[in-house]
Chain A
Amino acid sequence: DIQLTQSPSFLSASVGDRVTITCRASQGISSYLAWYQQKPGKAPKLLIYAASTLQSGVPSRFSGSESGTEFTLTISSLQPEDFATYYCQQLNSYPWTFGQGTKVEIK
């Protein structure tokens, strides 16, 4: 199975900060990676797919990039509604697997 290692597991940030979350795959997954946002008690929401394609309706402050087996989710200017847990997921091969999550909290 492909392992995804997300870092950090937790980060504390302020409104307006630039935030970067990293997801490292244990082997090549092409660009078959998605990023999700999940708020407490709610279903995950797809933010980015194919590593860097912004899902319709998602604010442009969210962006995704890749370099080899390392993928990055960037929030250019953190907003109050962005405090949540973020997950990466690989869909290159079965079983689809997730990173362990990154919880973004208010500093």
Chain B
Amino acid sequence: EVQLVESGGGLVQPGRSLRLSCTTSGFTFGDDAMSWFRQAPGKGLEWVGFIRSKAFGGTTEYAASVKGRFTISRDDSKIIAYLQMNGLKTEDTAVYYCTRVLLVGSGTYYPFDWGQGTLVTVSS
């Protein structure tokens, strides 16, 4: 059974940093891409960013709202994905979800499995 467990959320002041972790099990982590999404309280879903597997270069993509402030990385030996968040703003307050993303055919990636989410609150 695929399991994704996010951790590292909490209350942080504007301008500070936080690192979220996504601990995984139940699949071959190194073979798959991973992505982060977020959902502000009472709002819709927003894509944050994406990291490909090492086989596809381990490269990343980011939403414009976080580019230059957030960094996604992966440690295939520990089977953990990370979201490093710097220069946090009040508008970054949200539940952050880690997802396992699979390449379907020769088409595109889809987030098949989601963690339960971790709440990040940015406030002074």
Q: B interface, by DSSP: helix, strand, loop or mixed?
A: strand
Q: Does B9 contact A (CB under 8 A)?
A: no
Considering only CB atoms and an 8 Å cut-off, how many residues of chain A contact the other chain? 27
Q: Does A77 contact B (CB under 8 A)?
A: no
Q: Does A92 contact B (CB under 8 A)?
A: yes
Residues in B with CB closer than 8 Å to A97 are 47
Q: Does B116 lie within 8 Å of A43, measured CB to CB?
A: yes
A30 to B108 CA separation, bound complex (whole angstroms): 10
Residues in B with CB closer than 8 Å to A98 are 44-47
**How many CB-defined contacts (below 8 Å) exist between A and B?**
57
Q: Does A87 lie within 8 Å of B45, measured CB to CB?
A: yes
A46: nearest residue on chain B (CB-CB)? B112
Least CB distance from A2 to B in Å reads 12
Q: Does B116 lie within 8 Å of A95, measured CB to CB?
A: no
Residues in A with CB closer than 8 Å to B97 are 43-44
Q: Does A18 contact B (CB under 8 A)?
A: no
A interface residue numbers (CB < 8 A to B): 30-32, 34, 36, 38, 42-46, 49-50, 53, 55, 87, 89, 91-92, 94-101
